[in-house]
Amino acid sequence: MNSSDRNMNPRIFESPAQRKRMRGVTLIETITVLAVMSIVTVAGAPSLRGTLANSRATTTSNRLLTDLSLARSAAIMSGVRSEVCPSNDGIQCSDSTDWSSGWIVFVDRNDDDKRSDSEPLLATVSGSELGGLHVLTSVGRTKARFLPDGRSGGTNLSMRVCDGPKLTRSVIVNITGRARVEKLDTESSLCE
């Protein structure tokens, strides 16, 4: 063998003891690692599920809070009433306390409590963006109205963000027009 052959395959000149130390992973070692990984995964899954549900609820309530603030700002800046209302089609308001299909934000220029084609949409949210959560308002309050001075028309409005039967957040609009999110940590809070 010449010196160039040695450079090409250095394992030719290794002793059997050196080759034994370079062996791969055994089947038992692989099964052990997979068993430990599956135990860790199973133990962490409920925690991850809870974290994802909390993240969806936070995102939905913050989006609702942002759209309410947008409507209030639009009413103040335009000097005309604005509204946030549930919508099944992303174009017109629906007369419902269930906002789970989405909602729209618009300036009500003709003051008729309905969105006309001439009134541009400021924001739309579809039900698919809610991640399976439900948004419900108080009975008798199907929309949030903001007057040109920024006040909310009517009484306080409470909007509930629900994950199945569990109430996770409340978005509350007071009569001065200020909106806030209230996080509910109790397990006994039910969405009704």
pLDDT tens for 116-167 read 888 989 999 998 898 889 999 988 888 999 999 999 977 888 999 998 888 8
pLDDT tens, residue by residue, 23-46: 677 888 889 999 898 888 777 767
Amino acid making up residue 38 = S
- In this structure, how many other beta carbons lie within 10 angstroms of the beta carbon of residue 94? 18
Partners of residue 180 on adjacent β-strands: 172
To the nearest whole number, what is the mean pLDDT of the chain?
84
Q: How far apart are the C-alpha atoms of 113 and 109, rounded to whole Å?
A: 9
pLDDT tens, residue by residue, 178-187: 999 988 765 6
Q: From residue 171, how far is each of 34, 152, 156, 181 by CA, in Å?
A: 45, 14, 11, 4
Amino acid making up residue 36 = V
Partners of residue 100 on adjacent β-strands: none
CA torsion 70→71→73→79, rounded to 10°? 150
Q: How far apart are the C-alpha atoms of 129 and 122, rounded to whole Å?
A: 17
Q: How far apart are the C-alpha atoms of 141 and 145, rounded to whole Å?
A: 10
- In this structure, how many other beta carbons lie within 10 angstroms of the beta carbon of residue 112? 9
Q: Which of 93, 103, 94 is nearest to 133 (CA)?
A: 103
